[in-house]
Structure 1
Amino acid sequence: MTPDIRTDLTEDDLRTAWRWISEESYWAKGIPWPTFERAARNSLCFGAYVEDQLAGFARVVTDRATFGWLCDVWVDEAHRGQGLSRTMMTAIKAHPDLQGFRRFHLATADAHGLYRRFGFTDLTGPDRWMEIVDRDVYARDQARSTT
């Protein structure tokens, strides 16, 4: 069955994606629901549905003109190995709001082959890029919200 790709995710869909990412991902484990919800509401989110059930999720942070950052890509374990990531990537790359970018970024620990098929390459000019990383931000957010 071909999955249906949608961008009109319900709150229940977002909560499902949040559970996957907050409990199982290596990049956002422990992200609080309010933080994830705010991030999702300010991004272009994609849901992959199999038999009307959310089976995959991806989010693009973008100005919809010059730049996009693909993140939070997840496929439910029961649906892995069935081409769902490729189907989501095809829809993401074809979306009208994500055309004509000067830069489209992502970070991955283990899916380089998938993303290369869609035109992603190693970072050019990494000596020009800088970042601030705060690996404990979610733990501090949780501590503040319980006091």
Structure 2
Amino acid sequence: MDRLRISTDRDELDVDMIHRFLSEEAYWSRGIPRGTVERAIAGSLCFGGYLDGEGQVAFARVTTDGATFGYLADVFVLPAWRGRGYSKQLVAAVLAHPRLQGLRRLMLATSDAHGLYAQFGFRAPARPQTLMEILRPDIYQAQASHS
């Protein structure tokens, strides 16, 4: 297995690739506008995963106050590079980042990667009755139809 080089340098991010994946392939963000992806990147601690000679093949971001709370989002490895342990390397690098140490709560949402995240200590909420959300799963498609 090749080692994924992981960087938090925003200038290295392949925003075209990130937007293409999130808008066309990711089940959680189909149709997301590029401007929304750019704002999400600007407001997050971002992690790019790179392979020599291949460029960026993975991405994750954390929205955080850097003190008490973080939300892990948009974690992906491009399909051609899956099954090689890169998602584990990426999540391990995210969780080891100095800005994310000592947070009281780190959350994420997933429909299909529970096994990956469980390896790092993520669990279903201990008290789900205390959590609330406003969920708009089709917001990007609705915005596009009004444009």
- Please indicate, yes or no, whether the TM-score normalized by the shorter chain is above 0.5: yes
CA RMSD in angstroms, aligned pairs only: 1.5
Tell me what 1:76 maps to: 78
Give the secondary structure class of the aligned counterpart of 1:26: coil
Alpha-carbon separation, structure 2, partners of 1:136 and 1:94: 33
AA in 2 matched with 1:24 = E
Q: In 2, Cα distance between the equivalents of 1:143 and 1:113?
A: 36
The AA in structure 1 aligned to 2:103 is: F
How many correspondences in the alignment? 145
Shift of 1:80: 0.2
Please list every run of at least 4 consecutive aligned residues from structure 1 whose deviation after the TM superposition is greater than 4 angstroms: none
2:141 pairs with 1:139 = yes
The verdict on how the C-alpha distance between 1:3 and 1:27 changes in structure 2, with shifts beyond 3 A counting, is: same
Distance of 1:43 and 1:9 partners within structure 2: 10
Stretch deviating more after TM superposition (135-144 or 115-124): 135-144
Deviations 1:120-139 (A, max 9, x none): 11112111111112233213
Could you tell me which runs of 5 or more consecutive residues in structure 1 were left unpaired when the two chains were aligned.
none
Identity %: 48
Question: What corresponds to 1:100 in structure 2?
Answer: 102
**Gapped runs of 5+ residues in structure 2?**
none
Matched residue SS, 1:92: helix
Q: Secondary structure at the match of 1:121?
A: coil
Alpha-carbon distance change, 136 to 127 in structure 1, aligned in 2, over 3 angstroms: same
Structure 2 CA distance for aligned equivalents of residues 40 and 124 of structure 1: 30
Give the direction of change, closer, same or farther, for the CA distance of 1:12–1:125 in structure 2 (3 Å limit): closer
What do residues 26-74 of structure 1 show as CA deviations (whole Å, max 9, x unaligned)?
1111000001110111001101001150010001011111000101001
